[in-house]
Amino acid sequence: MKILAASICALALLSPAASAVELGVHVLGVGVGAHVGSHGVGAGAHVGGVGAGADVDRHGVGAGGHVGHVVGTGARVGDRGVHTGAHVGPVGAGGGLDRHGVGAGTHVGSVGAGANVGDHCRQRDDRGRCN
């Protein structure tokens, strides 16, 4: 799957109309896709409810995976620093390192807790980003 997604992404990059190209294949619950547009380059694949994706855009580099709507993980490196996060249903945890310092947070549903070490950030969201 990863090779197929990478191949489709490479084809999208080589296209003459690379300003807004989208390619996708979906057969019986299995899908791969890639796009090149004004927001960057992205590629993804899924088998039923299990999926993974990655993107490169003006905000940095991101990658993520999920199993159905229940278990998810993600990471991003961008102009605001490095962030990671994971969740199982409504329960999640995350951490971040950016120009405002270091942050970590957790949440269960809409109830959350966080901590940070940094300049002026008073509160962090569930991904560790400064609010």
Residues 41 and 88 in one domain: no
pLDDT at 5: 42
Residues 41 and 95 in one domain: no
Residues 54 and 93 in one domain: no
For residues 28-52, give the mean pLDDT: 90
Residues 48 and 92 in one domain: no
pLDDT at 3: 46
pLDDT at 131: 61
Residues 84 and 37 in one domain: no
| Domain stop point among 58, 77, 101 | 58
113 and 120 in contact (C-beta within 8 Å)?
no
Return the percentage of the chain with pLDDT > 70, whole number.
Answer: 74
pLDDT at 33: 92
pLDDT at 108: 85
Whether residue 4 is predicted with pLDDT greater than 80 in this model: the reply is no
User: In what order do the strands lie in the sheet containing 50-57?
Assistant: 21-27, 30-37, 40-47, 50-57, 60-67, 71-78, 81-88, 91-98, 101-108, 111-118
Residues 70 and 45 in one domain: no
pLDDT at 22: 85
Q: Which is higher by pLDDT, 73 or 116?
A: 73
Residues 70 and 39 in one domain: no
For residues 40-65, give the mean pLDDT: 90
Domain boundaries, position 111? 66-131
What's the whole-model pTM score? 0.54
Whether residue 17 is predicted with pLDDT greater than 80 in this model: the reply is no
Residues 48 and 82 in one domain: no
Indicate the number of domains in the chain.
Answer: 2
